[in-house]
Amino acid sequence: MDSLTEMECVACRPGAPAATDDEVERWQQEIPDWKLVTVRDIPRLRRVFRFSNFARALAFTNIVGELAEEEGHHPRITTEWGKVTVTIWTHAIKNLHRNDFILAAKIDAGLAASNLTE
């Protein structure tokens, strides 16, 4: 089985199947720092990343933006002093999809490769 970082996001249209409970459980094992949250009855993945200053937080925001563009899947990103909150869900289906887990895993890998954490 391929890891999430080896997969690519695919175009998702209304009516596409949401991730099953079994898939969510299996995929979340690869992204343990991401929390499942529900906002306005829509499940989402959320992770708060902490940095020593605003410049590092902003640099990480740019990494997330580049990964999102590469995957064609765009999260909500909130950048603050020393903190970046990333929230991912699939707008087209108002639910979680495999794409959300793929992007989360790639964001984690981007952080690991960035040297932005101390």
pLDDT digits (tens, 9 = 90+) for 61-105: 999 999 999 999 999 999 999 999 999 999 999 999 999 999 999
CB atoms within 10 A of CB 23: 15
pLDDT digits (tens, 9 = 90+) for 5-63: 888 888 888 889 999 999 999 999 999 999 999 999 999 999 999 999 999 999 999 99
Give the three-class secondary structure for 118. coil
Domain assignment present for 9: no
Domain assignment present for 22: no
Looking at residue 10, what is its pLDDT? 87
Domain assignment present for 1: no
| Paired tokens of 110 | 């981007």
Residues 6+ apart with CB under 8 A from 47: 31, 33, 34, 35, 85, 86, 104, 107
Domain assignment present for 53: yes
* 38 compared with 117, residue with greater pLDDT: 38
Looking at residue 2, what is its pLDDT? 76
Looking at residue 7, what is its pLDDT? 84
Number of domains in the chain: 1
Question: End-to-end distance of the chain based on CA atoms, in angstroms?
Answer: 33
Domain assignment present for 51: yes
Residues 6+ apart with CB under 8 A from 67: 103, 106, 107, 110
The pTM for the full model equals 0.94
Domain assignment present for 20: no
Percent of the chain that is helix, strand, coil (3-state, to 5): 40, 25, 40
Domain assignment present for 48: yes
Give the CATH number for residue 99. 3.30.1360.20
Domain assignment present for 7: no
Range of the domain at 94: 29-114
Looking at residue 1, what is its pLDDT? 55
Q: In whole angstroms, give the CA distance from residue 81 to residue 48.
A: 12
Cα maximum dimension of the chain = 43
Q: In whole angstroms, give the CA distance from residue 7 to residue 86.
A: 20
